[in-house]
Amino acid sequence: MTEGVDEINQLVNHQLIYAVLHKHLKKRRSSQDLALADIALKTDRQLIASRIYALLQDRERRKLFMDQKDHRAQSLLNLMQELLDDASLDLGELRSFLTTALIQLSRNSGLYPERLLIKDVTIQDKFASANGRYGDVYEGNLGGRAVAVKTMRGCGFGRDAAMQQVKAFAKEAVLWAQLSSPYVLPFYGVYPITANADRLGLISPWMKNGNLTQYLDKTPQIDQRSLMDDIAFGLDYLHSFDPQVIHGDLKGPNILITDDHRACVADFGLCLLAQSSALQITMTFSSNDGGSFFWMAPELFNGDEECVYKNCATDAYAFGCVCYEIFNGQPPFFDLRPNKARIVIKESRVPPRPTHPDLSDALWILIQKCLRGDPESRPGMSEVVQQLSSQQNN
C-alpha cells in the first residue's frame, strides 16, 4: 500500500511540475527551446499515461487512487484531462482507460478538471426556462453569446444530499466534456454559481427552438426524416465512443433543436459508461434510478424481480419511441393512463401505426424493430444508421 501512496504522490507532483513548467515556457522566446521542451514533455506524458494504466491494474492501488480527495484528487483530475487533451499523444487503448478513470474519480471526489471552469457567465432571469428531475435550466450570457445554464436545484438539501448533487454534476460535466459530435449538444464548461462551488452550473449553447417535444408542438412544417437521422447519428456516436456511453434517458425533452432545425442529443445527467472490464468499474444503474417510463423498454419494468441495467438495447427502444413521437406528436401509449401504459409497455404490445403521411412502410418497419420486446432482436444503432442511409439512397 505504501508503494501505491508513493506512486500517487509522484503523479500529483508531476501535475504541479507541469503547471510551473508551462508558465515558465511561455516566457521563453527561443523556438528551439520550445521545440525541445515539447518533445521532452510529450515523452514524459506518454510514460505518465502508461504509469497510470499500470497503477490502476492493481486492485488495492486502484481503490487508493479512486479514494483521493481535495487537492490531491484535483491534481490527478487535471493531469488525466491534460493527457486526454494532448492530441500529439498516441494513447491508443489508454484513452478509453483514462477517460473511465477520470469520470470515476470525478464522481467519487465531486471535483472536475480545472480547465472546464468558466467564470464570466451571467444568468439573465431569476426564473428557470426549463425544469428537470435533477436541475433547472436558465438562460444566461457568456461573452455576448446566449447560453443555457443547467443548475443544481438547491431546496434546503442537507449536507450529504447536497454533496451527492455536486458529485452527480461533476460526473456529468466530465463525461459531457469528452464528447464531440455535431449530433451531441456542445459543452462549454462548468460555472461555479456560489463562491465555495457547492452549487454548479453546466454551460451549453442556448437553443431558442427548445426541445423536440416543444418543437413538434409549435412547428407545423418539419423534416421528420432529418430529425430521425440526426438522433440516430447522435446515439450511434455515443454507443461507438470508447468507452461506450449509454444515454439512459433518451426522450423528446432531452433532444434539442438547433437554430438550423437539426436535432442534437442532450441531457447527460443519467448517462453512464458500459462496464469496463479493464477497470472492473460498473457505472451502470438499474431502472429504478430514473427515466421516463413512456420511453422505457419493457425489460426495465421488472422492478424488484431482477436488476436490469440500461444498455444499447434499451437506448434503441427509446430511439424507437422518439421516432414514434416525431410522427405521432406523442410517444407510444401516451393516451393511456400511466398505470395502464406501464402494463401494456411491460407486455411489449405494439402501438398503432401513426397516420402521418410521411411515415413510409420502410420507416415504420424500422421503428417496429426498435420497439421489439426482445432486447436481443432490436437493431444496434449502427445498423439503424445503415438502414436509414440505404432508404435515403433508394
Nearest to 169 by CA among 138, 142, 192: 192
Beta-bridge partners for 122: 141
Nearest to 323 by CA among 335, 336, 332, 310: 332
Beta-bridge partners for 227: none
Q: In this predicted model, what pLDDT tens digit does every residue of 317-359 receive, in sequence order? A: 999 999 999 999 999 999 999 889 999 999 999 899 999 999 9
- Beta-carbon neighbour count of residue 179 at 10 Å? 18
CA angle, 165 as apex, 112 and 303 as ends, to 5°? 120
Please answer whether residues 268 and 286 qualify as being in contact, where contact means their C-beta atoms are separated by less than 8 angstroms: no
Please answer whether residues 204 and 150 qualify as being in contact, where contact means their C-beta atoms are separated by less than 8 angstroms: yes
pLDDT for the residue 19: 56
- Beta-carbon neighbour count of residue 244 at 10 Å? 16
Average pLDDT over residues 367-377: 96
Q: In this predicted model, what pLDDT tens digit does every residue of 153-207 receive, in sequence order? A: 655 556 676 777 788 888 889 999 999 999 999 999 999 887 666 678 999 999 9
* Chain position carrying cell 465555495: 196
**59 in helix, strand or coil?**
helix
Q: 113 preceded by cis ω (within 30°)?
A: no
* Chain position carrying cell 438547433: 258
Q: How far is CA 171 from CA 56, 168, 176, in A?
A: 19, 5, 8
Q: 205 preceded by cis ω (within 30°)?
A: no
Per-residue pLDDT band at 367 (split at 50, 70, 90): very high
d(CA 94, CA 102): 12
d(CA 35, CA 16): 21
Query: pTM of the entire structure?
Result: 0.88
Please answer whether residues 231 and 266 qualify as being in contact, where contact means their C-beta atoms are separated by less than 8 angstroms: no
Nearest to 187 by CA among 115, 274, 294, 293: 115
Q: What residues contact residue 321 under an 8 Å CB cut-off, 6+ apart? A: 251, 294, 295, 331, 332, 371
Element (H, E) at 389: helix 381-393
**Structure-block grid coordinates of residue 194:** 456560489
pLDDT for the residue 291: 46
Per-residue pLDDT band at 5 (split at 50, 70, 90): low
Reduced DSSP (H G I as helix, E B as strand, rest coil) percent helix, strand, coil of the chain, to 5: 50, 10, 35
pLDDT for the residue 165: 79
